[in-house]
Amino acid sequence: MSTLISFLSEASIILGIVAFVGLMMQKKPMTKVFEGTIKTIVGFLIFNLGGSTITTVLKSFNTLFQTAFHINGVVAMSEAAVALAKDNYGTVVSVTFIVAFVSNLLFARFTKFKNIVFLTSIQYMFGAMLALVIKSHGYSDAVAIVLGGVTVGFASAFLPELCQPFVRKITGSNEMAIGHFSMCAYALSGCIGKLFKKHEAETTEDLKLPGWLSFFKDFTLGMTVIMLVLYYVSAFVAGEAVTQELAGSTNWLIWPFIQALTFTAGMNVLMYGVRMFLAEITAAFISISEKVIPNARPALDCPTLFPYAPTAVMLGFLSAYIASLIAAFGMARFNAPVVFIPAANVCFFLGGTAGVFGNSTGGWRGAIAGSFVTGLLLSLLPLVMYPVLAGVGVAQSAFPAVDYNVTSIILHNILNVVDMVVH
The tens digit of pLDDT for each residue in 152-179 reads 999 999 999 999 999 999 999 898 899 9
> Which residue has better confidence, 338 or 275?
338
> Which residue has better confidence, 97 or 133?
133
Which amino acid is located at 43 in the chain?
G
Average pLDDT over residues 270-289: 72
Q: What one-character DSSP code corresponds to residue 351?
A: I
pLDDT of 251 reads 95
Say how many CA atoms lie within 13 Å of 195 toward its Cβ. Answer: 11
Domain chopping of the chain, boundaries: 2-422
Split at pLDDT 50, 70, 90, the class of 105 is confident
pLDDT of 62 reads 75
CB 116 within 8 A of CB 161: no
pLDDT of 335 reads 84
Most confident of 7-11, 23-27, 294-298, 321-325: 321-325
pLDDT of 87 reads 64
Average pLDDT over residues 38-59: 82
pLDDT of 171 reads 93
pLDDT of 69 reads 76
pLDDT of 353 reads 96
Average pLDDT over residues 192-215: 79
Average pLDDT over residues 262-275: 81
177, β-bridge pairs: 299
What are the two backbone dihedrals, phi and then psi, of residue 383, each rounded to the nearest 5 degrees? -65, -35
> Which residue has better confidence, 281 or 204?
204
Report strand pairing: 115-117 vs 74-75: unpaired
pLDDT of 8 higher than 70: no
CB 25 within 8 A of CB 287: yes
Average pLDDT over residues 271-298: 75
Asked which of 107-121, 216-230, 252-266, 326-340 is least confident by mean pLDDT, the reply is 216-230
pLDDT of 9 reads 58
Average pLDDT over residues 96-123: 83
Average pLDDT over residues 202-208: 83
| H/E run at residue 173 | none
The CA distances from residue 9 to 5, 306, 343, in Å, are: 6, 24, 24
Asked which of 120-129, 282-291, 338-347 is least confident by mean pLDDT, the reply is 282-291
Average pLDDT over residues 268-292: 73
Average pLDDT over residues 313-333: 90
Q: What one-character DSSP code corresponds to residue 105?
A: H
pLDDT of 97 reads 76
pLDDT digits (tens, 9 = 90+) for 66-80: 788 777 677 777 766
Mean pLDDT of the chain: 85
B/e letters for 34-57, b = 16+ CB within 10 Å, e = fewer, are eebbebbbbbbbbbbebbebbbeb
pLDDT of 47 reads 75
The gap from C-alpha 354 to its chain's centroid, in whole angstroms, comes to: 10
pLDDT of 93 reads 77
Split at pLDDT 50, 70, 90, the class of 11 is low
Split at pLDDT 50, 70, 90, the class of 235 is very high
Please name the residues in contact with 31: beta carbons below 8 A apart, sequence gap of 6 or more. none
The CA distances from residue 222 to 117, 170, 205, 229, 233, in Å, are: 32, 22, 12, 11, 17
> Which residue has better confidence, 148 or 263?
148
Q: What percent of the chain has pLDDT over 90?
A: 38
